[in-house]
Amino acid sequence: MIRKFQATDMFSTIRIASETLTEQYSPNLFNYFYETFPELFLVSEKHHKIIGFITGIQLTEEIARIVMLSILPSYQRQNIATELLNELILTLKEKKIKQISLEVKTDNKKAILFYKKHGFTIIDTIEKFYQNGENAFMMKRTLQPY
Ligand SMILES: CC(C)(COP(=O)(O)OP(=O)(O)OC[C@H]1O[C@@H](n2cnc3c(N)ncnc32)[C@H](O)[C@@H]1OP(=O)(O)O)[C@@H](O)C(=O)NCCC(=O)NCCS
C-alpha cells in the first residue's frame, strides 16, 4: 500500500535511508520534507511495516525534484519503487508540474537503470556533488510540455 508519510513513520524511514543510502540525512531534513511538502513524501507499507519511501520537493511552480528514494534490500526488484514513483508522478501532474529532476551517484547502476526505465535521461554530470567528493548525474524527465 502506498500512502502519505505520517510522523510515526519517521523512525522506519530514517532506518531504511541509513541502510540503503550512502549519504547520511539528518532527522531534521526528514521533518523539513514532511512539514514543507507532505503530499510529496510517500511510503510503501506491507503488513504494517514500512518497506520503502520517496520524498520530493517543489523547486518552482513547474519543477519538482526527487530527493530520496529508498527500498529495503529484501523488497527490492518487486516494483515497490515503481509504485512509489508512479504515485508521486500522479500528485505532481495534479499540481501541474512539468519537469522532474534528481541527482544520482554516477556509480549507482541500479538507480540509473531504474530512472532510465521510467523515462529519465542524464543531462549533466555534477562534479563532487556529494559530501565525500563523489560525482552525480543530473537526470530529468518531462511530465508535460511547456
Ligand atoms: C534503486 C531502487 C530505488 C530501485 O527500487 P526497486 O523497488 O528495486 O525497483 P523496481 O522493482 O520498482 O524497478 C525495477 C527496475 O529498476 C531497475 N533495477 C532495479 N534494481 C536493479 C538491479 N539490481 N539491477 C538492474 N536493474 C535494476 C531495472 O530497470 C528494473 O526493471 P526490471 O525489473 O524490469 O529489469 C532500489 O534499488 C534502492 O532502494 N536502492 C538503494 C537506494 C538508492 O540507490 N536510491 C536511489 C538514490 S537516487
Residue 146 is predicted with a pLDDT of 64
- CATH number of the CATH domain containing 33: 3.40.630.30
In a domain, 46, yes or no: yes
In a domain, 96, yes or no: yes
In a domain, 136, yes or no: no
At how many degrees (to 10) do helices 10-20 and 27-36 cross?
120
Other C-beta atoms within 10 Å of 122: how many?
A: 14
Higher per-residue confidence, 132 vs 78? 78
Percent pLDDT > 90 in the chain is 92
Structural domain of 13: 2-102
Distance CA 146, CA 143 (A): 9
- State the total domains in the chain: 1
| Residue to mutate (ligand 1; options 65, 83, 107, 114; most atoms within 8 A of CB) | 114
Residue 23's pLDDT band (cuts 50, 70, 90): confident
In a domain, 42, yes or no: yes
Rama region for 96: left / alpha / beta (φ>0; ψ in -120 to 50; rest): left
The predicted-structure confidence for 105-121, as pLDDT tens digits, reads as follows 999 999 999 999 999 99
* Residues paired with residue 42 on neighbouring β-strands, in sequence order: 4, 54
